[in-house]
Structure 1
Amino acid sequence: MASARRRVIVVAVGVAYAVLLVFGERLLGGSAGVVILVASFVVGFAWLVLLVAPWAARGRPGRRAPVRRERP
């Protein structure tokens, strides 16, 4: 999946979460707290898996693996 597509997914989930935070209690009533808690987990997980994990797997650009030298 392309980087731009992953970013669009995360932004869309984030916008849906923001709408839920603003209008959640009016739409869901008393159960809004549980839904917002689960939505927080989903947004965090999507951000972590779709944006942070690929970035972390690539590593820092231009950095080579450290040279291991044995001591005499």
Structure 2
Amino acid sequence: MGSTRRKAVLVTALVAYAVLLVVGPRVLGGSAGIVILVASFVVGFAWLVLLVAPWAARGRDRSLRR
């Protein structure tokens, strides 16, 4: 998966999460807290897997190493 596609997936997840935060309590009622908690975990995990892991796997630039 290319860098652009990973970022697009993450932006879509963040927008969906923001909509859930705004509309969720009105639509879901009492169970909105649990749904928002799970969504927070999913978005955080997606951020780690899609952006941080590929960056960490590449490692630091050789010119920065001493």
Distance, in Å, in 1 between the alignment partners of 2:14 and 2:64 is 35
> TM-score, normalization: structure 2?
0.92
Which structure 2 segments of 5+ residues have no match? Answer: none
Secondary structure, in 3 states, of the residue corresponding to 1:11?
helix
**Residue identity matched to 2:12:** A
Distance, in Å, in 2 between the alignment partners of 1:46 and 1:15 is 13
**1:30 corresponds to:** 30
Bigger CA radius of gyration: 1
Which structure 1 segments of 5+ residues have no match? Answer: 67-72
* 1:13 is aligned to 2:13: yes
**1:56 corresponds to:** 56
**Residue identity matched to 1:19:** V
| Aligned-CA RMSD value | 1.5
Distance, in Å, in 1 between the alignment partners of 2:44 and 2:31 is 20
Query: Percent same amino acid at aligned positions?
Result: 71
